[in-house]
Every structure is written in structure tokens, then in C-alpha cells.
Amino acid sequence: MIRPQKSRFITGESIINMALVLFALFILIESRDYSLEARRFPQVVASITAILGIYLIIRDYIKVKKSHEAVIEEKGTEREKCKESNNSPLIIIAVGILYFIFFRFLGFIISTFILMSVVPILLGYKNYKIIFLLSVVLTIGLYWIFTTFFYIPLPKGILF
Amino acid sequence: MWLNSLFTALSADHLMFLLLGSVLGLVIGAAPGLGPVFGLAIFLSMTFSMKPTVGLIFLSAVYASSVYGGSISAILLNTPGTPGSIATCFDGFEMSKKGEGGRALGASTISSFFGGIAGVLALMFLGPFLAETSLKIGPAEFFMLALAGLSLVAVASKGDTIRGLMMGGFGLLLAFVGRNVVTGSARFTLGTLYLEDGIQFVPLVIGIFAFGQAIVLAKEKGCIAKATKVTGVMQGVKETLTKPISIIRSSIIGVAIGILPGLGINAANFISYLVEKNSSKHPETFGKGEICGIIAPEAANNASTSASLIPAFGLGIPGSSTSALFLSALMIHGLTPGYGFFSLNGELFPTIIWGMLLAQVSFLVLGLLGANYFVKVTQVPNALLVPIIMVLSFIGSFALRNQVLDILLMVIFGLIGYYLTLYKYPMACLVLGIILGDLAESNFNRALRISHGSLKIFIERPISLILLIVIVLSMLFPYIKKFILMRIRKKPA
């Protein structure tokens, strides 16, 4: 089925290319006040990267425009597939950010135990016994190995 | 003297610490983020009370095994255990997905062994000579070497050169963030103290490859290898033995890169992979589970480990963090590095050499015996594997500097890595830019300072000129080859 799309010419690639061009422009603008030695290399590389990025945006736009009917169909099915598949990438990123926020506060043991127990369930794993055992063994095992043998001071958190 | 040293190296205390070092090195190497630098830094203090030979052999075993250990997680989980095994992921993980993890591990173990032996032999025979020669290499030559590495971007770009160049540019721009080595000024730090040290390489690599892979596995569900039957480790060993040219070529590249200060195992691993791909008759098979894509990077990174000790032992100049740690170990034990180190310390140097050779044998045996067990990781459901990779990524990013912000940096690059992989951007080019960016820029500026701003320095110095000619010829070679082939085809007609 062909689905109507809001922005038929904006693809994932063009968003990445635009982001890279913006990053290169940021480097160009930011480096204006630096000394010659400090700005020479970054300015040359940023200019080339920005030009290549703009070229790729135009190339992709022309390619999509030329065959946009086919592309719309393809993207439509791709999007359907994505919808059907899952939102696991978002889960993993969200868990990663939450872990960063609570790591120092809750400490390694509690935050890792929560992560090890919650992520498999969110990813659809149903054997709770294994999840619990793995969470306990790995959390304590990793803490013991890294603090005792590798002398890494993992945060203890407020409860310990 | 060499025979007596062999008996010393084979004595019980030496062997015990050799084995301990190998096991610890394997664990450290396989865990993402905990590379050889970390291993040597941690265990250096343990060697204070040991005899010099025992201490140095123990550290050699940790070093060699951790570099090899990085390939285990690279092959089985697409998560490089050390930055020196990034290129091993490209074909190693593809083989694991096909249920050929055992074959890949066999190839990686035996090629790491041969590479390691080549490195030790280079240290033994060429050490004094090469230590002297490496002094003749200045900023102009280093810039040309970095340029030669960057010229490989086109090879690494998987057919879309423009995209490859843009990713290389992105990598270079990331490398510019932080305090400039030559001028000392802070650049692109957004006013934060955290970015003054630059974007940390270890969290970045863990993010792009390990955390990014955790996202991919979470999305795919199931388990990595669908095949229930795992192919044999010995098959990989046998196949590797039929590729002596690849082993020799990559070992030479590894030794050469190891001797040059500042390049390290990550550059050796990467550059040898690209050279192997470029010289292959079937470059299109690379990245799809080609065994030479494992042999080359693994032989090279292990060859560069011992070779990187040549300037440290011979001149007292550490070219990398790992050789600096070895140098500290020498000095702690009251030994003086320098030209005389190779000949004046009696049995010490031969004993260390024997110890290093035995360290290669030790990880070879452990690797081959353990490979069948390691490979079972690919049968674990992704839902259980993902949180384990995530936790190891968090610890790996945090461990080196005890900075919680490194965890956030890793997550951000995980997201970037995931989307770049999803849209098939060549990650090899990005990493190449990051590895060589600082080296290229700092040596370019140093060279211009020496020449008072004249670009002539790059063509006046003979080694620099030769390197420049090689770069130009290697870039023109495909077109020259095409032109000659066209002429040959036209002639009979």
C-alpha cells in the first residue's frame, strides 16, 4: 500500500548529512577567533566535510525526486516494517541515560541490578527465574571482580 | 647464554606468572574498554616485589593476551574488547552470524600467535638497529605517514567514496576537539572543562561499536547465530595456515607501525585490514565474513605489541602508553634502557625474549582450548546478552578515568553509531579519521614551525618525499592499472 507522506524528500540519510554539515559549520564558525595554527587544519577539514555533505544532500534529493513514486512505496513499507518491529532502540537509549543519571546516586550494585532485571523483560524475555539469577550473579560478580582485582572504585551509592 | 635463559624462563615461578598473566590478559582484553593500557597500569604495581625477569614476563603475558583477547568479543559480539580489534569486527561478526564463530576464533588465535612471534623476533634481531633508525623520523615524515593512513579512506568507503570521505572528515573534526597539542589552546569545548581533554577515544569506540551493537541486537531479538552447529576452531586454524602471504604482510605492517611512536595497535589493526582488502583479488568479500579480514588485523596488532617496545627498550623513548608502562617497569627494577640494554644486561634480555615467545604460546593454547566455549555466547538470547553488553560498556567507559560523564558520552556515540550503521555509512572511515586526526595535525604544525612556515619541508626531506611519492602512486594506481588493461585489451583487436 502506498502511504501519503508529510515530507517525501526527507530521508534518514539526508537528516544525517544535514547534521554533519551543521557540525562542520559549527567548527568553521567557532574556529574564527583561534590562532592560525589552531584553526588551519580544522577549517580545511570542516570546509571539505561541509561541501561533501551539501553535495550528498543534493545528490540524494535529485535521486529521490527522480524516482519518488518508487521511493515512497519503498519507504512506506520500510516504515511499516519499523512500526511492526519494535521500539527497542528507544528503550536501550532511555535505559542508558537513566543509568547515567542514577549511577552515582544509587551506586553500581542497585542501578546494575535494576538494569539487568528490567531490560530482558522489556525485550520480551519471560523466564523470570533466569533473569533474577543472572541479575544477582552478574551484578555481584562484576562488582567483586572489578573492585577487588582491577581496583576500579565503582560507586557504592547512598544505601551502602 | 640463550639456552640458560630459556631454562630460566621455563622455571616454575616464571611459568606460573606467565599463565596468570595470560588468563588475566584474556579477561581484560575481552571486556570492552579494558585494553592493554588498563591491564599494564593495574598490574605494574604487582611486579614491584617480583624478580625483574618474572615481572617483565608477567607484564608481557598480560600485554600479549589482552591484545589477543580483544578479538574474542569483537568476533562473537561485534564489540571490540580493545580499540586494537575494531577492524576484526567487520568480518569476524559476520562469520559469527553465519554460525562460523569457531572458525573465526581459530583464525584469530593462530594469526595473533604468528603476529606476536614476528613482533618478538623483530625486537630480538632488529631492536638495536631499528631503535636508531626511528630517531631519523621527524614531524614531516609523521605527517606523511598519517596522510598515507588517511588516503586509505577511499579503500574503506565500501564503494561510496564521497560518503567515506565525509565520514573521514567527521572523524577528523571529532579528533580536533580539546586542547591543541602544539598551541595548548582549548578548541570546540563549548566552554566545558570535560571536553578540554578531547573526546575520549575509549568511550567513543565503546559507544559506536559495543553500545550501538546492543541496540541492534535488542531490535533483532532471537540470538546472534541462528545455526545450531558451530564450525570447528581447527578449520579456521588450517585455513589460516594456507594464507602465509597475508600473515607475513600483516606482521610486517604491524612491526613497522609498532616501531613508529604514536600510532599503536589500533592503527596497526585498521591499516593492515585495509591493505589486505586492497590487495585482495576479491575485495568485495570483505565485510561479509572473509577470513583474511580476521587474519590481517589480528596478526598486525599482535606484531605491533612487541615491536612498540623497540624504541622504549633501545632509546628509552616510549612511543605509546603501553611502552611507557613497560619503560617504568624497567626503571623500577633498576634497569637502564638504551642501546646497551640489548647486550649489557647479561641474561636479562634473552630471558625477556623467551618469556615473550612463551606468552604467545600461552595465549595460543588458552585461546584454542577455550574457543569452543567462548563461541557459545552467540547462542545466548539477545534479550539476556543486551543488558550484559550494556553493563560492560558502562564499566568500560567509566573505568579508565572514573568519570561518570564518560558514560553519557558513550551512550551518545552509541546512538550516533546505531544510526550511521543503520544507513550503511562506512564506520571504518570515521575511526580512521579519529585515530589519525591528532597525529596529522600536530605533526603538520610542528613541521611548519621547524621550516618557518615553508611547505618545502615535506619534499626536501628524503623519507618524507618517498612517502609522498608512494601516497600519490597508490592513489593513482587503480587508474594506471585500468589504463594499462584497456591498452592491452585494445592491442589484439
Q: What is the pLDDT of residues A13-48, one digit of tens each?
A: 889 999 999 999 999 999 998 888 888 889 999 999
pLDDT of A81: 46
Tell me which chain A residues have a C-beta less than 8 angstroms from the C-beta of B411.
93, 96-97, 100
Q: What is the pLDDT of residues B251-279, one digit of tens each?
A: 999 998 888 766 778 888 888 998 898 88
DSSP, collapsed to helix, strand or coil, labels residue A31 as: helix
* Torsion angle defined by CA atoms of residues B420, B422, B423 and B424, in that order, rounded to the nearest 10 degrees: 80
CA B282/CA B339 separation, integer angstroms: 44
Q: Which residues of B touch A150 (CB under 8 A)?
A: 28, 34, 38, 42, 399
DSSP letter for each residue of B429-463: HHHHHHHHHHHHHHHHHHHHHHTTT-TTHHHHSHH
Closest residue in B to A112 (Cα) is B391
The DSSP H or E segment spanning B72 is helix B52-77
pLDDT score of B288? 86
Can you name the residues that pair with B187 across neighbouring β-strands? B178
Rounded-to-10 torsion of CA B112, B115, B120, B126: -170
- CB proximity A138 to B under 8 Å: yes
Report the candidate in B461, B429, B470 with the shortest Cα–Cα distance to residue B443. Answer: B461
* A125/B383 CB distance under 8 A: yes
The mean pLDDT of A132-160, rounded to a whole number, is 85
d(CA B202, CA B396): 8
In angstroms, rounded to a whole number, what is the distance separating the alpha carbons of residues B86 and B97?
17
In the prediction, which pLDDT does B228 show? 47
Region B423-435 average pLDDT: 83
- List the single residue in A41, A93, A123 with the smallest CB-CB distance to B441: A41
Of A41, A115, A131, the CB nearest to B390: A115
Nearest to A52 among B165, B187, B444 (CB): B165
Interface test with A, best of B395, B405, B406 (most A CBs within 10 A): B395
> Distance (Å, rounded) from C-alpha B253 to C-alpha B38?
25
Contact B419 A12 (CB under 8 A): yes
**Residue A127, Ramachandran bin (φ over 0: left; ψ between -120 and 50: alpha; else beta):** beta
CB A62, CB A11: distance < 8 Å: no
pLDDT value at residue B150: 79
Which residues in A lie closer than 8 A to residue B211 (C-beta atoms)? 92, 96
Report the C-alpha gap between B117 and B252 in whole angstroms. Answer: 11
Helix (H) or strand (E) holding B490: helix B462-490
Interface of A with B in 6-65 (CB under 8 A): 12-13, 16-17, 20, 23-24, 26-27, 30-31, 34-35, 37-38, 40-42, 45-46, 48-49, 52-53, 55-56, 59
A83 touches chain B (CB under 8 A): no
DSSP label at B285?
A: G
pLDDT digits (tens, 9 = 90+) for B66-118: 888 888 888 888 888 787 888 898 899 888 888 888 889 999 999 999 999 99
How far apart, in Å, do the first and last CA atoms of chain A sit? 57
Q: Give the rounded distance of the alpha carbon of B135 from its chain centre.
A: 23
CB contact under 8 A, B211 and A96: yes
Q: What is the pLDDT of residue B401?
A: 82
Question: pLDDT tens across B299-312, in order?
Answer: 999 999 888 888 77
Tell me what ipTM this predicted complex has.
Answer: 0.85
As a whole number, the mean pLDDT across chain B is: 83
**What average pLDDT score do residues B194-206 get?**
86
Which of the given ranges, A109-118, B337-346, B352-361, B391-400, has the highest pLDDT on average? A109-118
In degrees and rounded to multiples of 5, residue B187 shows phi and psi of -130, 140
Closest A-chain CA to B215 = A89
Are A34 and B444 a contacting pair at CB < 8 A?
no
| Confidence bin at B173 (pLDDT 50/70/90) | very high
Residue B17 DSSP SS3 = helix
B128 vs A131 pLDDT, higher one: A131
pLDDT of B462 reads 86
Q: Which of A24-28, A29-33, B369-373, B466-470 has the highest mean pLDDT?
A: A24-28
CA distance A155 to chain B (A): 9
| Cβ contacts of B172 on chain A, cutoff 8 Å | 41, 45, 49
Task: For residue B410, give the chain A residue with the closest CA.
Answer: A96
